[in-house]
Structure 1
Amino acid sequence: MPGIVSPLDSTTTRKKLSAEISARLKKNDFESIESLANSARSSKQRIPGGFWKLYVIYDGLTEPNLEQKSTELEWQEHIGRLEAWKTAMPNSVTAKVATAGAWVYWAVDARGEGFAHTVSEHSWQLFRERSQMASDELAEAKKSDLKCPQWYVVALSVGLVQNWSRTQYDKVFEEGFRLEPTYYHIQREKLTYLFPQWNGKNGEQGAFIKENASRIEGDEGLIMYFLLTSILQSHYRMQLFQKVDVPWEKVKEGYQALERHYKTDRFRKNQYAYMAMFGRDIETASAEMQEIGDDWDPEVWGTRETFENIKKATEDYRSIQSRNQK
């Protein structure tokens, strides 16, 4: 894939791959996208840090302008390209799932990020219509002989915005888990569903992480432990282990397994150092911070000040340890 950089920085790698896929869609290069998606799906290829390449490919197909606001015309053109792909390749499950995902994003775009009472009736109508279009696309995609784990990611996101019952939501989740238990993007959707402000209760996220990881044998189960906990790190920050009842030692084992099997990158190393510090394992945090040096990741730390404070604390710890050994 042109433009892919060193695996030591998966954030850049993921953004470049998604941007390349987006550019290919705009050129109507459906065959190459199809080939890349089929290869990533069948090989279960991961990018260092444990990210599924298949998910990153779909990420490049979800919206017209990645990480930027799109106009209504740009959205219409984007949906039009996906429809053209479906017409050109009517048996493509990738095209159908990507179209469903785009309808979800466009539905959320119509609703906006404000509180429910601030959303106009027109925006609610667009939200309902577009989320229903996503449901219709998913129904068509499910008829395909080739099953895709991303179908379940999109379906669960539809379930969240359409306020499915817990029974219906869990049924779809279980289908996805049986198809591909290590496609952790499915579990990420359920973690979102389990936030107390959505459909969960206090303590459910931690219980889910432990129960879900226990269903996956060997190192993959440990890796899932780390990956799911790390997803919540960006939300709970310093309160992670107060809000989510998971044992730090299991998270640590998961990171070590991830490193053995898929390698880690700057993003994961920063996450690990952060979680080690607030998991009260300053020895591990100190070692990781020393390895990170100044290569901090804003997505993990939020602010440079937080990073520098933890860096200073771990430096002080090493100084004390050094004096005690003399």
Structure 2
Amino acid sequence: MTITLHRMAIIPALAGLLLFSAQPVHACVENPSVRPADLEADAVNRLFLERNYKQLDQLYQQYSTKRSTTPDGMSALSIFFRGIAKSFVGCTSSQRTEQEWKAQQASLAAWQAASPKSNGPKLALALNSVNYGWYARGRGVSSTVSGDARSVFESRMEDARHQFDKLGALAKHNPAWYSGMLQIGLAQGWRREKFEPMYASAVKLDPYYMNFHVVNKEYHDQKWYGSDQEMHQAVNTAVELTKDRFGQALYARLYTTEWKPRAMFTTGGVSWERMKKGFEDDLAIHPDLPTRRDYANYACVADDANTLKQQLDLLGDQADIKSWGNNQHIAYCTGLATMSGTDRKPKCFKFTGTEDYICD
């Protein structure tokens, strides 16, 4: 089986960091709007589900020793582990059960038993343990995590750290090892004196392993251990490290990992001009529908009626504007698009007793 490598989309925030769930033995239905890397991850997924461990081991060896990249410069190893993860992620997100987590661990253990000399399944198991810890904690803010959940979370993360410590010999040459350790560093609240040198070593090894930048941004966000200023600096660092291949694309990607309020472009410290350039650079790499929809949506957030209208025209009946947010936001964007070429902004009114809005 030949796998032609393309670009890997950034994995959005922590909720997308190599999460697993149960899935039948088939890949998701192909979608022409999905980035090529999603299809390549499906190819790895099929190899795993078919228990073609020999080829998985060959791919892992190739990607980890030859620093294989996609034609557009992304880390092939990151696609490999994303493909393994997709074996447990269905076509739609759903809550996983303990039984499903045990089943996935058994599947990965079967690969390890079949390939005792390969580090691929060992890393996959360790990465799975990290996500098993996040599963116990949940994705809410700290105040929403119960004492019992926090205890299980901490225990599982410590177990994951021990697994990565045993694989420490990989640290000199394997980006996936650093990806796991950085996630553990975030979870365990490592001091900056420990976390930041880890990030520096990781990006020196491979600046195009996107999870490094996602986790570093999260670590420096005020929701974790930093501030807005430090988070912005983390984004700028990621863009600087990857600009030779991606221009400003990471500026847009990293700021669309989670929804931001309208103030992000006024008092939130985010530059719409840089983000706009980032979307353009990203679409030049691969013109997929989700990225163009994000481009149009954030143009609305930035009150850029001309760009909003331009992108909606390019999207046509595939804009899917109803998925952009709440009713007020959707009504505002619909109204703003009609004001392209003017300096006007919509005024919105709520219908009494409903959640419906009209903007003119």
TM-score tier, shorter chain, comes to 0.7 to 0.9
Please, what is the CA RMSD of the aligned residues?
3.5
SS in 2 for 1:68: coil
Assess, with a 3 A threshold, how the Cα gap between structure 1 residues 125 and 250 changes in structure 2: closer, same or farther: closer
Shift of 1:225: 2.4
Q: Which residue of 1 aligns with 2:297?
A: 274
Q: Which residue of 1 aligns with 2:81?
A: 58
SS in 2 for 1:293: helix
**Residue 136 of structure 1 is aligned with which of 159, 162, 166?**
162
Q: Which residue of 2 aligns with 1:207?
A: 233
1:251 aligns with 2:275: yes
**Residue 167 of structure 1 is aligned with which of 193, 199, 202?**
193
* In 1: Cα distance, 2:266 partner to 2:95 partner: 35
1:160-309 matches, cutoff 5 A: 160-231=186-257, 234-242=258-266, 244-260=268-284, 262-296=285-319, 301-303=324-326, 306-307=329-330, 309=332
Assess, with a 3 A threshold, how the Cα gap between structure 1 residues 8 and 192 changes in structure 2: closer, same or farther: same
What TM-score, normalized by structure 1, do the two folds share?
0.79
Which runs of 5 or more residues in structure 1 are unaligned?
A: 322-326
Assess, with a 3 A threshold, how the Cα gap between structure 1 residues 177 and 300 changes in structure 2: closer, same or farther: farther
Letter in 1 for 2:159: M
Q: Which residue of 1 aligns with 2:120?
A: 94
Shift of 1:131: 1.0
* In 1: Cα distance, 2:320 partner to 2:295 partner: 12
What TM-score, normalized by structure 2, do the two folds share?
0.72
* In 1: Cα distance, 2:263 partner to 2:219 partner: 20
Shift of 1:257: 2.6
* In 1: Cα distance, 2:246 partner to 2:198 partner: 22
Residues 232-271 of structure 1, C-alpha deviation per residue, up to 9 Å, x if partnerless?
xx331433324642332222333333333x2221111111
Q: Which residue of 2 aligns with 1:148?
A: 174
Letter in 1 for 2:265: F
1:157 aligns with 2:189: no
1:119 aligns with 2:130: no
Which runs of 5 or more residues in structure 2 are unaligned?
A: 4-26, 345-360
SS in 2 for 1:203: helix
- Contact residue 44 and residue 80 of structure 2 kept, 8 A: yes
* In 1: Cα distance, 2:323 partner to 2:197 partner: 33
* In 2: Cα distance, 1:173 partner to 1:190 partner: 7
**Residue 9 of structure 1 is aligned with which of 34, 51, 55?**
34
* In 1: Cα distance, 2:195 partner to 2:322 partner: 30
- Contact residue 222 and residue 254 of structure 1 kept, 8 A: yes
Number of paired residues?
A: 313
Residue identity (%):
20
